[in-house]
Structure 1
Amino acid sequence: MLKYIKGHMDSISGIEIYPIISLLIFFSFFVILFWWVFTAKKEYIKNVSNIPLDNQNDQIL
């Protein structure tokens, strides 16, 4: 089965660029996430982290 798939993959021209593009997208996402985490305002992080503990919007059914 693997030889069958590999044979078809070899016949596709330019297929070697897809793993490189996937790696760049993956790496870029985590670099941007890392940058956002360290540049986010501490007040915003505190407000967002307290949302689950905020009882003002809870309704008893």
Structure 2
Amino acid sequence: MKFINYLEKISGVSIYPVVSLILFTSMFVIVVLYAMKTSKERISEMEKLPLDEN
């Protein structure tokens, strides 16, 4: 039996793609806004972290 046959038997399964799209889009927007609002000093500080010996 194919996987699609299992999904057809679940009532209300069509809401899951919509919910996942909304979650992905909202997380993407949050990350983009965070990246845009972060100061240049903070970004410079984070760039140097892998090379920092302290």
Q: What is the TM-score when the length of structure 2 is the normalising length?
A: 0.81
Q: What percent identity do the matched residue pairs reach?
A: 39
The structural deviation recorded for 1:11 is 2.0
Aligned residues: 54
Provide Cα deviations, 1:1-57, integer angstroms capped at 9, x if missing partner. 32xx333322211110001101111111111111111010111111111112223x2
Q: What is the TM-score when the length of structure 1 is the normalising length?
A: 0.74
Extract unaligned runs of 5+ from structure 1. Answer: none
In structure 2, the residue matched to 1:41 is 39
Largest Rg, 1 or 2: 1
- Which structure carries more relative contact order (alpha carbon 8 Å, separation 6+)? 2
C-alpha RMSD of matched pairs (Å): 1.4
Extract unaligned runs of 5+ from structure 2. Answer: none
